[in-house]
Structure 1
Amino acid sequence: MNPTERFERERPRLRAAAYRMLGSLAEADDAVQDAWLRLNASDTTDIRNLGAWLMTATSRVCLNMLRTRRTRGETALDARMPDPIVVSSTADPELSAEQGEAVSMALMVVMETLSPTERVAFVLHDMFTVPFDEIATLVEKTPDAVRQLASRARRRVRTRETQGHADAAEQRRVVRAFFAASRDGDIDGLLAVLAPDVVLRSDGGARRREQSVVLEGAQTVASQAAMYMELAPHVRFVSINGAEGAAVVVQGRVVSLMSFTVVDDRVVAIDVLADPERLPGVTRSITE
């Protein structure tokens, strides 16, 4: 198998890793393309494990992207929502290549709070079983230091939002109950499906970083019932990162995505993406 064929064979795995590290589908594609260009410019004669070489090259590009993002002050939790992977409810998930990259939106959101080296170490070791000594060379730290990075990241992502998710049927029931209550302006109905400490995070839509929103507590989230009531007639249920979600579609255009995290029959988190500059790139499967 020549290097080009091997690269194409590795591409899905490389893209999945890059997406987890960057939280951006477009940037993940850029990182993988950069790895391909580096491969073309290299002498592959002495490369014993091309798959490992490509993963390292892709990860190095991702690490540099994350560091650049950090210097620009783009890493705060309320400043950036990761790109969701969206599949229409009418589509067969097995036919979507991107479903293989899906990680829960709740986990992706929490990962946005990690430092660049923590995120790379966590993704490579915990999700792709890359040995610590290989990661150490990449991030220019000792294997023990990398082990600590991964451990610290692991502790931070082990939140209720990233564990104990309800099964698909229960997610569907709870999310539909949320919108049924919203449609009727039923505050008690909303409180019945919201966890007491539910968190709603939004990127702020067209206002983006300057006015992102974080609401905490069932009463606070339910108090937005008037807004949910306006949205309810336009909701189309979709799969977002493998979990139940909703797209708000007005005149054939997706104006927002709502990802729900359901634990123990209650919504514990709602993540909203409404940035009009980003939505077209992640909602093609809904509108095409």
Structure 2
Amino acid sequence: MNLEQAYHDYRPLLFSIAYRLLGTVTEAEDIVQDVFTSLGTVNWNHIQHPKAFLCQSVSNRCLNLMKASVKKKERYVGNWLPEPFIHSTDNEPLMALENKEAVSYAYLVMLETLTPTERIIFVLKTSYAIAYDELAEITGKTEVNCRKIYSRARQKMKSQPAVETRPDSKGVMVQRFIEALHNGNITDLIQLMREDTIITTDGGGKVRAATRQITSIQRIFAFFKGILAKEAFADEMILTQANGSPALMVKAEGRPKALWLLALTPDASSISHVYGVLNPDKLPKNI
């Protein structure tokens, strides 16, 4: 196998690893590209296990970037949300995240509660079955420590499935969500939610957004009343696919303005969390 063939065969897998670890599409793409660029001067024939070698190379770079990003996220204005993966025929290298293999958005949000070391061990072990001896080599920890870290991370993540289990039900809920917003009917909108539903919006200090999570039905009612009055949903609203399930895209003058993603209760009967990605840096330029 030559480097060109390896690029063709493993690029989607490597992107899926990097995206789960970093939570950003752009950085994940850059990491994968950098790995292959750095191999331009390497004798590829001397690499006995190319898949393992590439996965480890990407993981090491991601871990370094994750550690460097901790303080950056601490200084971030308001809530930090992952960059959604918007499904598009233009995203050929991202095919590993399509359909049932797509990592759910709520899962990505939950991954943010882990430390960089917890995250890389949990993701690589859970999603890619990487052995503990390899995890030890990537993280610089002992195998025993890796087992302990994985157990701790799994406890933090146990309430959140990696893949949406009922995308059809979510599609119905998103349609009802869109209809209520289109009609300006806040009562119908609130009826889709639980008493403990949470809203998280991410503007990154670049556009107006709530800098704290919104909890309680009363505050959620006031929130939607306020943004509807400001015609936040007066532009084009379309149903799109993000992270393996339906989502609401708001467009202005043909360009994405906001993406709203929903997390449902286990029985898919109501909305448990609403994520509003408003930061233009986390939205596609065109779709």
Q: TM-score range by the shorter chain?
A: 0.7 to 0.9
Q: Partners of 2:71 and 2:201 in 1: how far apart?
A: 23
Give distance in 1, aligned partners of 2:78 and 2:68. Answer: 18
- Structure 2 SS opposite 1:87: coil
Q: Deviations over 1:140-185 (max 9, x none)?
A: 10112111222222221223x5479562332122222223233344
Q: 2: distance between equivalents of 1:115 and 1:153?
A: 9
Determine the C-alpha separation between the residues in 2 that align with 1:65 and 1:209.
28
Q: Which residue of 1 aligns with 2:25?
A: 25
Tell me by how many angstroms 1:96 deviates.
7.1
CA shift at 1:8, angstroms?
2.4
RMSD (CA atoms):
3.0
Match of 1:120 in 2: 120
What's the secondary structure of 2:141's corresponding residue?
Answer: coil
1:244 shift after superposition: 1.7
Per the TM alignment, residue 261 of structure 1 is displaced from its structure 2 partner at its CA by 1.0
Q: 1:210 to 1:65 in 2, by over 3 A?
A: farther
> How far apart are the structure 1 equivalents of 2:198 and 2:240?
21
- C-alpha spacing 1:95/1:143, structure 2 compared with 1 (3 Å): closer
The residue aligned with 2:141 is 141
Q: Which amino acid aligns with 1:190?
A: L
Structure 1 residue 95 displacement after superposition:
11
Q: Which runs of 5+ in 1 are unaligned?
A: none
Q: 1:239 aligns with which of 238, 241, 258?
A: 241
State the secondary structure of the residue aligned to 1:81. Answer: coil
Q: 2:180, 2:65 → 1: CA distance?
A: 42
Distance 1:36 1:206 in 2: 34
| Aligned positions, number | 280
The answer as to whether partners of 1:165 and 1:262 remain within 8 angstroms in 2 is: no
- Tell me the residue number matched to 1:213: 212
Q: 1:99 to 1:164 in 2, by over 3 A?
A: closer
Measured at CA, do residues 135 and 164 of structure 1 come closer, stay the same or move farther in structure 2, by a change above 3 Å? closer
Report the Cα offset of residue 98 of structure 1: 5.9
Which sits farther off after the overlay, 223-232 or 144-153? 223-232
Tell me the CA shift for residue 2 of structure 1.
1.8
TM-score, normalised via structure 1 length: 0.85
Distance 1:39 1:283 in 2: 31
In structure 1, C-alpha distance between the alignment counterparts of 2:198 and 2:271, rounded to whole Å: 9
> Greater CA deviation, 40-49 or 110-119?
40-49
- Cα shift at 1:220: 1.9
Query: Secondary structure, in 3 states, of the residue corresponding to 1:256?
Result: strand
Task: State the alpha-carbon separation in 1 of the partners of residues 54 and 22 from structure 2.
Answer: 17
**Secondary structure, aligned partner of 2:87:** strand
Partner of 2:57: 57
Aligned position for 1:97: 95
Q: Which 10-residue stretch deviates more, 130-139 or 184-193?
A: 184-193
Q: SS state of the match for residue 48, structure 1?
A: coil
Q: Which residue of 1 aligns with 2:280?
A: 276
Q: Which moves more between the two structures, 59-68 or 174-183?
A: 174-183
Show the counterpart of 1:42: 42
1:271/1:96 Cα in 2 relative to 1: closer, same or farther (>3 Å)? Answer: same
Q: Is the 8 A contact 2:164 2:245 kept in 1?
A: no
Q: What is the letter of the counterpart of residue 118 of structure 1?
A: E
Q: Distance in 1 between matches of 2:151 and 2:56?
A: 20
Structure 1 residue aligned with 2:167: 168
Residue range with higher mean Cα deviation, 71-80 or 265-274: 71-80
Quick one: distance in 2 between partners of 1:168 and 1:278? 23
Cα distance in 1 for residues equivalent to 2:133 and 2:161: 28
Gaps of 5+ in 2: none
Which stretches of structure 1, 4 residues or longer, exceed 6 Å deviation after superposition?
91-96, 208-211
Q: CA deviation at 1:249?
A: 0.8
Aligned AA (2:34): D
CA 163–55 in structure 1, closer or farther in 2 if over 3 Å, else same: closer
Distance 1:147 1:73 in 2: 27
1:251 equivalent in structure 2: 253
